[in-house]
Structure 1
């Protein structure tokens, strides 16, 4: 699916490199299960920001969701080591027993770094958190099965391409692949790095 077309209605004074990076987001082609849309971007993290949200839908059921924010500060920020920063959130529901797997956080983080590498999305200064939360229902909700949600919060500094701004299409596609893997979808035929993806068993959702 083609990403929501980038536009800067509220960013008329945005630097050209930021405008080009946003336009690159609009050229990204993701899996058909992914729905993308522009959302309001946070205004306090950087002088310029652009945000999209995504959901992985299979037969009308939402299996994963998240958001990606592209930040730009022309003078840079100390912890970025660059003038751009990508901030992301990805969430998906797993079978409850998966929360006890000690390898779960490492595997989930590898889904992101592996997807970035497979798409040639160069980056530096990565940071993030992988969290699991379990829900058990009682009383009037007792019939609902227990559930576990995995949440990956990550940020990184995208490297400039030869054109002088980050190839944000590659970064967006890689992030969407993290969502799809978290949702339990198998790699598509010919998907870069598909054979190297580590999957978790007993994943909630389509097998």
Structure 2
């Protein structure tokens, strides 16, 4: 199982001495979270202009030595709160994975991708307020010296939400599960079938097949 090593209050670039106790406690909860073994976390510099205090990690999902998904999670903290957040904390995430062609061509891919996120949060009991985000797909056709590569399609889920329950470890675990699902792995726990946020899917989220390794 993966967890972020090192001094958790310094992993994202905010010094331990200057950070309020609320932020330090949140970071310690995140840094101590135990995740499924396919997920590898690494501390990374956090953006400094979005909030007075911030912390960030990158993640990769590896299966049989191959990387099938990657992403980044940022925790923001503003003691004064921000109106758009409706709170003092905000989680900002990015998730990417390469898709098989039959999945990439699904016209409902964007709705399904967003449902993977909401289902993961619900499954892990993470209460998310003011959620927002985008689900994008991009296709690549290779030429010249790269012409021997097969064409590829990538899904990218960018999302942010306010962790309204103070259980930061649940939010990290939910995001890690989203990474694995986008990478073609099953969720760590049974996901609910009811999808109130995506009624057009008929109440069922189709699970993806195993992805190909990500191209580099």
CA distance in 1, matches of 2:210, 2:119: 22
After superposition, the CA RMSD in angstroms is: 1.8
Structure 1 partner of 2:91: 86
Q: Does the CA contact (< 8 Å) of 1:89 and 1:154 recur in 2?
A: yes
Query: 1:99, CA displacement in angstroms?
Result: 2.9
Q: Does the CA contact (< 8 Å) of 2:181 and 2:208 recur in 1?
A: no
Structure 2 partner of 1:169: 169
What CA deviation, in whole Å up to 9, does each residue of 1:61-101 have, x standing for no partner? 11000000000000011211100000000000002343331
**Which deviates further from its counterpart, 97-106 or 58-67?**
97-106
Structure 1 partner of 2:186: 186
2:9 matches 1:8: yes
Listed as ranges, the gaps of 5+ residues in structure 1 are 161-165
- SS, match of residue 9 in structure 2: coil
- SS, match of residue 117 in structure 1: helix
Give the alignment's TM-score, normalised by structure 1. Answer: 0.89
What CA deviation, in whole Å up to 9, does each residue of 1:16-43 have, x standing for no partner? 1111000101221211111001111000
What CA deviation, in whole Å up to 9, does each residue of 1:117-155 have, x standing for no partner? 111111110000000000001122111000001000000
Q: Does the CA contact (< 8 Å) of 1:28 and 1:173 recur in 2?
A: yes
Q: Structure 1: which 4+ aligned runs deviate by more than 4 Å?
A: 194-197
Correspondences of 1:11-30 after superposition (within 5 Å): 11=15, 12-30=17-35
Correspondences of 1:55-204 after superposition (within 5 Å): 55-160=60-165, 166-188=166-188, 191-193=189-191, 198-201=206-209, 203-204=211-212
Query: 1:193, CA displacement in angstroms?
Result: 2.5
Q: Does the CA contact (< 8 Å) of 2:98 and 2:154 recur in 1?
A: yes
Query: 1:201, CA displacement in angstroms?
Result: 4.4
Listed as ranges, the gaps of 5+ residues in structure 2 are 194-203
CA distance in 2, matches of 1:117, 1:30: 17
CA distance in 2, matches of 1:86, 1:31: 20
Structure 1 partner of 2:45: 40
- SS, match of residue 170 in structure 2: helix
Q: For this pair of structures, how many residues does the alignment match?
A: 198
Structure 2 partner of 1:163: none
- SS, match of residue 55 in structure 1: strand
